[in-house]
Amino acid sequence: MSSLTRRVLLVQGLLGAAALPALAQGYGQMGGDGRAGTASGQDASVQGDMASVATVTIRDRAFNPPSLTVAVGQPVRFVNEDGVTHTITADDGAFDVEDMTPGRAVRLTFPAPGTYAYHCEIHPMMTGTLTIA
């Protein structure tokens, strides 16, 4: 093997190793299982462009932001950054994500316009509203 080939292989190996922490970090942000939720609360494969994903953070026993407007089909990612388990439950029963353990993230998409009030079943004072336009 020539010294040029060895250098190319070494650089490729170093670049690949440098990318591993970033990949692991992104995987952990999705809740560790690499899957996301749908509007029915079922797990489904991740879809869509990460740049177009709206995020609701669960922290200090509150949904932040408490009110969010997104386009039809635009994913909404919920991330539990709190130290306790929560739920994301639509007041009208349209979706119910149970067992949002600390660190878990789910992604919901809504195929039609509407307004969805939601709450945490465990902590009823936690409320939010999603408007799909």
pLDDT recorded at residue 102? 97
Stretch 99-118: mean pLDDT, rounded? 96
pTM over 0.75: no
Task: For 31-132, give the CATH class.
Answer: mainly beta
Q: What is the 3-state secondary structure (H, E, C) of the chain?
A: CCHHHHHHHHHHHHHHHHHHHHHHHHHHHCCCCCEEECCCCCEEECCCCHHHCEEEEEECCEEECCEEEECCCCCEEEEECCCCCEEEEECCCCCEEEEECCCCEEEECCCCCEEEEEECCCCCCCEEEEEEC
Q: How confident is the model at residue 1 (pLDDT cuts 50, 70, 90)?
A: low
Percent over 70 (pLDDT), the chain: 62
- Predicted confidence (pLDDT) at residue 110 exceeds the cutoff of 80: yes
The domain segmentation of the chain, as residue ranges, is 31-132
pLDDT recorded at residue 87? 97
Q: What pLDDT digit, counting tens, does each position of 39-77 carry?
A: 534 333 344 444 489 999 999 999 999 999 999 999 999
When comparing pLDDT for 58 and 34, which is higher?
58
